[in-house]
Structure 1
Amino acid sequence: PISKISEIARDHKILFAVDAAQTAGCCPINVEAFGVDFLAFSGHKGLYGPPGTGGLYIREGCEAKLKPLVYGGTGSYSEFTHQPDFLPDKYESGTPNTAGLAGLKASVRFVLDRGISQIYKHENNLAEALRAGLRNIKGVTVYSSGQLTPQPQLSVVSFNIAGFTPSEVAVQLEEKHRIMCRPGLHCAPLAHQTIGTFPQGTVRLSPGYFNTLDEIKTVVKAIEEIANQATCPMKDNGTVLLSSLEER
């Protein structure tokens, strides 16, 4: 899909930017094959880097069309009163997050050493086990696009429990079971409007490379315990299939 969108953008002379915050480190990315002009990624998700790190790929020649968001403090040509016009200084004002970038370098090396395909295989196995376990719990609705599209899913699982808000589920998971999750709209209100979970959102779990199948079983058991507490009428368990939205 990205390559096709890129072709349409080029045909209409539109610059094409891709948000790879959730996919960098999880799926192979080839900016040349994709034909993208810009690609942004975060360092603290699939790349396992420190918070506050990330990067922006800019196709050669596109830097002339993109104005800096912040000016000043480049440190490279301090005698000038204007922003440098060359990369990366044009977009790197102020003191860089040196410690964070050192951590990101180490985490990228870890991902490359382990292999993106190997990491994806392990994470996907855990995510599929989690989805399967949740679908067997009465009152739990799993939001998934996997049954309608051949595109691979990432290890992000969104669900709701009838009778509970996402925040109520998150509090119980953390306080009673020491399981961390993220409830709410996940910085994507339009996505939640699309799948019908706006304004409360969903509960999101993200199995990672360092998680185990035993931990997934523990999570499923904890969610089943919470679902059994529901006192209001519950919906049938099942899966909401999304035809136009990937899970992340």
Structure 2
Amino acid sequence: ILKQVTDAKSAVAQSNDKPSGTVALGIPQSVSGALALPLLTAIRATYPEITLLLTEELTGNLIVQLKSGRINLAVLFDDGQLSPFASTPMVEEEMMYITRADSQYGAGKKKSVTLAQAIKAPLILPGLQHGVRPRIENIVRAQGMSLDNVIEINSVAILKSAILADIGATILPVAPLLSEIERGDMVALPISGERMARTLALCASKNIPLTNAAAAVERLVLDVTDDLCRKGKWLHAEGLARE
């Protein structure tokens, strides 16, 4: 409630040409590696009078915060249940099979793995209430298979450590593990025969109007996302068309 009062005061004081104030944006842990720094740089260059508060959280926590008005905007996974929010398509990310470079669960010299091969390894995945896990479960189930050997970890940092310790493999977009993949510590392979992808959307509350500053940040998030995809800086991601 206090945040909404502060936002209302800010909306009265600011102009359309020069938005100012504080905007809280929630980003999932698995997205921040691709989007956070480019967005912060763009905000400073384009809207120096806006203070951007970035919150890195699990998806389930972001949904709760967005509903309550604790954050103005959130990047969420479009799992077909975003109807409570005003949502705009952002990007579709391909999910890959990722292991330690010399892992016992690796695919040798193969350039891809099948879904059946991928789920034979112990898979380190987030819990069912968060992120990509429901999407993976649905795809596996649709192929008449099941995930029988899952290690649930809801922290990107701990997930990285578990993969590097060769406790198992994962199925994720490359963004949260990009630095390890670029250094050669991990290997990411496409999953053949099945389209494994997740869709991200930028969401706002339908009940709490955006301030001028929040609307400006909303537009900038979409512009930065499109630019990253167009220049190939958001690997294995494709910008989505919007109305």
State the TM-score, normalizing by the size of structure 1. Answer: 0.24
State the TM-score, normalizing by the size of structure 2. Answer: 0.24
Say which structure is richer in strand.
2
